[in-house]
Amino acid sequence: MRDLMAWDRLKEHEARPHEPPSFQIYDPTATDLRNEYSHFLFTAVELHDALRGHGASIPESMRRTLQRKLAKLEQEARQLDLHQRCLGY
């Protein structure tokens, strides 16, 4: 997701307002970013559900490690402001 965001920022930086582009290429960046973010959200929900539903069968130290790593990934996604960009809110 970071790579797609970087590519999108580069495109915006290189754009020249009021000038037509020298050539037009197919650019699926916005769609790819939405797909990756949707996949991330779905996976995060599945992991939360698994940790809640099967937490007793996972050793405490491992469960805490997984929860901490998941929280870190969610924080990184929030810092990319993907919810605003991909979902419009």
Examine residue 59 and state whether it is found in any structural domain, yes or no: yes
Q: How far apart are CA 87 and CA 66, in angstroms?
A: 26
Examine residue 17 and state whether it is found in any structural domain, yes or no: no
Examine residue 36 and state whether it is found in any structural domain, yes or no: yes
Examine residue 19 and state whether it is found in any structural domain, yes or no: no
Categorize the per-residue pLDDT at 74 as very low, low, confident or very high, splitting at 50, 70 and 90. very high
Q: Can you give the pLDDT at residue 66?
A: 93
Looking at the structure of the chain, the number of domains it has is 1
Q: Can you give the pLDDT at residue 81?
A: 82
Residues 45-58 pLDDT 10s: 999 999 998 878 98
Examine residue 24 and state whether it is found in any structural domain, yes or no: no
Element of type H or E holding 74: helix 60-79
Categorize the per-residue pLDDT at 86 as very low, low, confident or very high, splitting at 50, 70 and 90. low
Categorize the per-residue pLDDT at 72 as very low, low, confident or very high, splitting at 50, 70 and 90. very high
Q: What is the span of the domain harbouring residue 47?
A: 2-8+29-87
Examine residue 38 and state whether it is found in any structural domain, yes or no: yes
Examine residue 79 and state whether it is found in any structural domain, yes or no: yes
Residues 3-59 pLDDT 10s: 888 888 887 777 777 777 666 777 788 888 889 999 999 999 999 999 998 878 989
Examine residue 56 and state whether it is found in any structural domain, yes or no: yes
Q: How far apart are CA 50 and CA 58, in angstroms?
A: 10
What end-to-end distance do the CA atoms of the chain give, in Å? 18
